């Protein structure tokens, strides 16, 4: 995990705390951390302090879009059906 500095925040980066990512994805907290550890395409958390992390909103949105597109392309090619 990387630390956030003031320069990163000055460019308008929006950070989502884990609770917001959980609500957005409709998953549990353990599933969020399982994804973060096991899926190399899942965005890395940004360490805000000793006991707090956040995710970059744009990276989460891009991950959602990439998964949506990969699922729809698998369905179109006869792979697994979209959820």
pTM for the whole thing?
A: 0.73
In a domain, 11, yes or no: yes
Q: Which pLDDT score, from 0 to 100, does residue 32 have? A: 96
In a domain, 28, yes or no: yes
pLDDT tens profile 1-47:
556 555 555 568 899 999 999 999 999 999 999 999 999 999 999 99
Domain coverage including residue 8:
2-56
Residue 33 neighbours by CB under 8 Å, 6+ apart: none
What is the per-residue burial (b if ≥16 Cβ within 10 Å, else e) of 18-57? beebbeeeeeeeeebeebbeeeeebbebbeeeeeebbbbb
State the total domains in the chain.
1
pLDDT tens profile 40-68:
999 999 999 999 999 999 999 999 999 88
Q: Which pLDDT score, from 0 to 100, does residue 69 have? A: 79
Q: Which pLDDT score, from 0 to 100, does residue 15 have? A: 96
In a domain, 39, yes or no: yes
In a domain, 75, yes or no: no
Paired residues of 49 in beta bridges: 52
């Amino acid at each position: 995990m990387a630390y956030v500095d003031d320069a990163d925040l000055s460019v308008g980066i929006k950070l989502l705390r884990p609770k917001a990512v959980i609500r957005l994805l409709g998953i549990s907290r353990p599933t969020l951390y399982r994804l973060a550890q096991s899926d190399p395409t899942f965005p890395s958390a940004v360490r805000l302090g000793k006991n707090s992390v956040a995710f970059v909103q744009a990276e989460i949105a891009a991950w959602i879009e990439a998964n949506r597109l990969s699922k729809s392309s698998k369905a179109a090619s006869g792979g697994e059906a979209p959820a």
